[in-house]
Amino acid sequence: MRTQVLIIGAGPAGLLLSHLLRLAGVESVVLESRSREHCEHRIRAGVLEQGTVDTLNEAGLGARMQREGLVHHGIELLFDGKRHRIDLTTLTGGRAITVYGQHEVVRDMIASADEHEQPLYFGVSDVTLHDLATDGPWVGFTLDGAMQRIDCEFVAGCDGFHGIARQSIPHDALQIFERVYPYAWLGILADAAPNCGELVYAHHTRGFALFSMRSADVTRLYLQCRPDEDLSQWSDERIWAELHARFENDDGWLPSIGDITQKGVTPMRSFVCEPMQYGRLFLAGDAAHIVPPTGAKGMNLAVADVRVLSKALAAHYREGRGDLLHAYSTTCLERVWRAEHFSYFMTNMLHPSLEDSPFVERLKLSELRYVTSSDAASRMLAENYVGLPFHE
C-alpha cells in the first residue's frame, strides 16, 4: 500500500487530521491499535473551546454537536463557602465553551470517515516506523495476522502519550519538560440530571472538587485524591458525602445524587517534548504534550495542532511550499506553552496540597479572590479558558 500521509492513532487528533486532509485533496490512511468500539466508547473530557467548535463546524463535523452539545457562557469558582461566577462570554467578546463528550466527537469523525470511504484500520499491532529522516518513510504493522507495509511521504504521530510515534524518535533529538503533580482526580459518572447550568470548580481545605456534566441526564464529578488511591475504599456513599462536603456553600446548592455508573482515577502531569517533529514525522496531541485536566485543554490542543499540520501539508502539496512544515513545531509550541501555563495556574490555585504551608494556602485564597473580583484578572482567566483565537 501507499499513501501521502500515514496517520497513527484514531483519536480526535488523527481522525480530524484525516478529515481535514481529505478536504484539502491530500490522501491519508489511519492506523489504530484499539478496536472501533473502544475508540467510540472511551470516555474522556468534553469541554470544547470556541476555536475547536468553530473548527468542527467549518469542517462539516458539527451537526450533532450543535444539536446535543451544551453551550456554557460562564464557569463558577467556589471557595470560602461562596460561589463566584466568571462570565466567559461577556469578558471575551462573545466567545463560549461547549460541553460535548470526546467520544461523541470521535463517533462523528468515524461516521464521516465511513461516509467518505476514508481508509481507517482498527486493531493493528506491531507498528514500526522506518526511514523517518529520509524522503521515503514507511510503516510496518500487523493486521488480521498478516504483516503489512505502507509507504508514505509523511507520518503523523497522533497515538497518545504511550504511543510508538514519539518513541521512534532518537532520544538525543528531543528535549523533555515534565512535572508530575502530587495528587490525582477520582472521577465518576452519575445518572443524575445536572442541577447547575455551568461547571463549578471548588477549592476546599479537604481538597479540590469539580462539578461537570456529559449530557442533560448524566453528571460528571471529580474529587482530588492521592495518585495511588485505592478505589475499593471509596463506596458510593463515601463519594457523595465527600462531594457534598467540598461543595458546601452559603446558598445551599449541592450536586444531585444518582447511581454511579463509572469510577476512575486520573493522574495529573504536565509534559512537553521539543521539537514536535523529526524528519518526516510530525507529532500531534498527547503524543507531544500533556496538560493536567484542570484547564480543559487536552483535546483542544490536539485540534489546534492538526489545524496547523493540515494547512502545512496542504501548502506542501498544493503550492510546493515547505516553510509551514518546517515551522510546524515552533508554531504549535507557542500555543502549547500558553496552555501549559494556564493549566498549571488553574491546578495550583485550586488544589490544596499536603506540601502547602499556611502561607501558601493563604496565597491561593488571595489569588482566587483576585481573579473573581478584578475585571482584568477575570478577563485573563476567561480568554484562556475559552481558548485564544487562531491567527492564520
- 103-126, pLDDT tens digit by residue? 999 999 999 999 999 999 999 999
Closest CA to 387 of 49, 113, 55, 104: 49
Closest CA to 160 of 8, 16, 300, 294: 8
Q: Give the confidence band of 41 by pLDDT, cuts at 50, 70, 90.
A: confident
122-144: pLDDT as tens digits: 999 999 999 999 999 999 999 99
Q: How many angstroms separate the CA atoms of 241 and 225, rounded? A: 14
Does the pLDDT at position 323 exceed 90?
yes
Q: How many angstroms separate the CA atoms of 28 and 19, rounded? A: 9
Q: Give the confidence band of 225 by pLDDT, cuts at 50, 70, 90.
A: very high
| List 297, 316, 351, 364, catalytic entry | 297
Quick one: average pLDDT of 21-40? 96
- The mean of the pLDDT values for the chain is 96
pTM over 0.85: yes
| List 204, 293, 328, 351, catalytic entry | 293
| Residue 263: active-site member | no
Q: Give the confidence band of 392 by pLDDT, cuts at 50, 70, 90.
A: low
Set out the domains of the chain in order of their start, with CATH numbers.
Answer: 5-73+95-177+269-353 (3.50.50.60)
Q: How many angstroms separate the CA atoms of 122 and 115, rounded? A: 17
Q: Give the confidence band of 27 by pLDDT, cuts at 50, 70, 90.
A: very high
| List 72, 103, 204, 316, catalytic entry | 72
Q: Output the pLDDT for position 221.
A: 96
| Residue 385: active-site member | yes
